[in-house]
Structure 1
Amino acid sequence: MVVRRDGITGYVMGGLGNQIFILAAAWEQARRLDVPVYLDRSHYAVGGTFAYGLDAFTHPAISLAPEQSPWRSVRVNRERVLPLPRRPWGRVFLERDGDAYAPSIEQVRPGTTLIGYFQSPRYFPSIRDELSDAILAIDEEPRESAEVARILAEPAISLHLRRGDYLAVSPDRQFIASVAYAVRAIRTLRALGVDLPVRVFSDSVALVKDELRGVAGDFEFVEEGLLGTWASLRAMSAGRAMIMSNSSFSWWGAELMRRRFGADTPVVAPRPWTRGGTAKADLLDPDWITLDAR
């Protein structure tokens, strides 16, 4: 057990999209302070969590093994794993409102662990493009590279409809971007002159095919298992316009698309973002179009 007093540590949790946000926030603060950046991955020692994915690309963070962590991650229920401190744990910056940027993060000092999801590009302005470029440079398997190259060569609208784990939570917490939202988004992009076929990405392709049955349009479905998680993200970003789901993974697809094709790339995002009604104003780009997700 080691407290890293010389740098900034990000306590990593959640799926891949959240992992990237946490890395980005820790990297930004470490760069500001000119100190090392560490990633505490003890969360992933608990069974039933998402896979840790940040070893796939080049970044400056040093990964800490679970036995090096001053935190003990404990599953409190089916949906949540929380870090509990093992003394000494050093300084902690806890994100108290996941829906708003906290400017007080700019006051953290070396030896601080960041705990939260930090879902806003305001947390990482100086490393934003560098991070996107590193993700776009990830090496894939030859089969995946060929498929991403094909997708890049065949312009389409990327439509992401996340279902999967979103349907596994209790019904009172479920909130997904609906097919009605997707249809409105397609019509909006058509009105803007984006006359392209729609390429559908989902973690529940069979379900989404059924949901879209009878909807007029030229749809191509990216079949499950064809691409790994990182390759799926890169393939999503190869579209010429984006219809997001209410998902951090979806946000990174739009962000990488922005890096590929420029800031004026059309992006449609859902609102509200959660069942509680948050609009995620600090997450969504002010130039993006937002439509009712229901």
Structure 2
Amino acid sequence: MRSYPLMLESEDSCLEAVAIMTVKDEFHRSKEKPDTIIVQLMGGLGNQLFQYAVGRRIAKMNNFSLKLDLSWFRYHPRWFKYHPYRPYSLNHFATLKDIASPAEIAKLRGLTWVHLKEKLFHKLYANGLHGTRTMIRERTLDFDPEVLQISTGAYLSGYWQSEKYFKDIEETIRKDFTVITPPDPENIKIANDIRGAEAVCIHVRRGDYVSDSKANQLIGLCSLDYYYRSIGYIMSRVEKPHFYIFSDDPDWSQQHITIDAPTTYIHNNPSDKNYEDLRLMTYCKHFIIANSSFSWWGAWLSSNQQKIVVAPAQWFNRVHYNDDDRLPKEWVRL
């Protein structure tokens, strides 16, 4: 990735002059390409997939270029004090990988995102580099159809967690979200086992839902009752199921979830290889998902046309949040 002098946080006048000249040059050259959608990527893999998908849809329908803003992964160390580290993970997929420069981000979002010291920021602003502010923030957890009416270059910031944002380019999204990093021998063996079974994926999300009090209050954990009711629902409809349990807390899952059917606990992939777990999930035929964007994608990307997907009836702990648009209508809520 290209290095930009403006990222230096020095107050030295020479460095400031270099920064202003560099950004000014990049900024004005970026004006030559106004038809660009920049999408902010943030959070874990599931979030990144949703964010990419909405940007991909808008860019494709307008014949625009799509660029990714990865600033969040560099400039939010405080977030990682309370949450597991979430790396940029789309490099393992067949996605478009054009990374937005700081000047391109500034043009659409404004220079506040460049993380400059106040003195240098004001000098840049005085030089006319304050951007056009064509920034679209997610306004609601519901699907917002107005977002899909964007017909000019824009910067998108949000989570966009509904298939309605990209359902009309489903084939493109499925192709882009093919994992291209070759699997290791152990994952190849597990994949072959899953393909040869009436495989049911169970995803148990704990992690920061347990350790972070705010996440626990807002989102909350799926109860054991939910999992056992979902298992019963699957077993009454699927002949000879084999359950594959994926979790960020495999020890807890093994201690608390026992099933009177063949069960395999998947715990060979570290967190920085979550794309391997996602790939394995997609090979399953049926799904019991958590209130997690990660398992949402595992179920959605499965190619089984007869799949049963069971999801929690209430996605958020706070009942006043509307999540009607979050799940495809054919999925079962329990």
Does structure 2 retain, via aligned residues, the 8 Å contact 1:90–1:111? no
Residue 71 of structure 2 corresponds to 42
Residue 170 of structure 2 corresponds to 128
Larger Rg: 2
The match for 2:250 among 190, 202, 205 is 205
Q: Partners in 1 of 2:240 and 2:205 — Cα distance?
A: 24
Q: Secondary structure of 2:312's match?
A: strand
Residue 157 of structure 2 corresponds to 115
Q: Does 1:159 align with 2:171?
A: no
Does structure 1 retain, via aligned residues, the 8 Å contact 2:40–2:155? yes
Residue 177 of structure 1 corresponds to 222
Structure richer in strand, relative to its length: 1
Does structure 2 retain, via aligned residues, the 8 Å contact 1:157–1:243? yes
Residue 23 of structure 1 corresponds to 52
Give the C-alpha shift of residue 161 in structure 1. 0.6
Give the C-alpha shift of residue 283 in structure 1. 1.7
The match for 2:98 among 62, 65, 69 is 62
Give the C-alpha shift of residue 279 in structure 1. 5.4
Q: Pairwise mapping of residues 236-255 of structure 1 onto structure 2 (< 5 A)? A: 236-255=281-300
Does structure 1 retain, via aligned residues, the 8 Å contact 2:179–2:275? no
Residue 280 of structure 1 corresponds to 323
TM-score when scaled to structure 2?
A: 0.76
Write the letter of the residue equivalent to 2:55. Answer: A
Please say which of residues 218-227 and 28-37 is displaced more in the overlay: 218-227
Gaps of 5+ in 2: 1-22, 107-111, 116-124
Q: Secondary structure of 1:287's match?
A: coil
Residue 11 of structure 1 corresponds to 40
Residues 10, 178 of structure 1: alpha-carbon distance in 2 compared, 3 angstrom cutoff: same
Q: Secondary structure of 1:29's match?
A: helix
Does structure 1 retain, via aligned residues, the 8 Å contact 2:269–2:277? no
Give the C-alpha shift of residue 152 in structure 1. 1.9
Write the letter of the residue equivalent to 1:136. Answer: T
Identity %: 26
The match for 1:219 among 256, 263, 277 is 263
Give the C-alpha shift of residue 195 in structure 1. 3.3
Q: Secondary structure of 1:156's match?
A: strand
Q: Partners in 1 of 2:239 and 2:138 — Cα distance?
A: 38
Residue 82 of structure 1 corresponds to none
Gaps of 5+ in 1: 75-84
The match for 1:72 among 110, 113, 124 is 113
Give the C-alpha shift of residue 68 in structure 1. 5.7
Does structure 2 retain, via aligned residues, the 8 Å contact 1:152–1:238? yes
Does structure 2 retain, via aligned residues, the 8 Å contact 1:41–1:65? no
Q: Secondary structure of 2:182's match?
A: coil
Q: Partners in 1 of 2:163 and 2:219 — Cα distance?
A: 26
Does structure 2 retain, via aligned residues, the 8 Å contact 1:167–1:174? no
The match for 1:189 among 234, 237, 241 is 234
Q: Secondary structure of 1:198's match?
A: strand
Write the letter of the residue equivalent to 1:270. Answer: P
> Which runs of structure 1 show a deviation greater than 4 angstroms over 4 or more consecutive aligned residues?
1-4, 65-68
Q: Does 1:229 align with 2:274?
A: yes
Q: Partners in 2 of 1:57 and 1:126 — Cα distance?
A: 20
Please say which of residues 191-200 and 119-128 is displaced more in the overlay: 191-200
Q: Partners in 2 of 1:134 and 1:14 — Cα distance?
A: 19
Q: Partners in 2 of 1:135 and 1:194 — Cα distance?
A: 30
Give the C-alpha shift of residue 174 in structure 1. 5.2
Q: Secondary structure of 1:14's match?
A: coil
Q: Partners in 2 of 1:138 and 1:127 — Cα distance?
A: 20
Give the C-alpha shift of residue 89 in structure 1. 5.3
Residues 197, 73 of structure 1: alpha-carbon distance in 2 compared, 3 angstrom cutoff: farther
Give the C-alpha shift of residue 107 in structure 1. 2.5
Please say which of residues 148-157 and 85-94 is displaced more in the overlay: 85-94
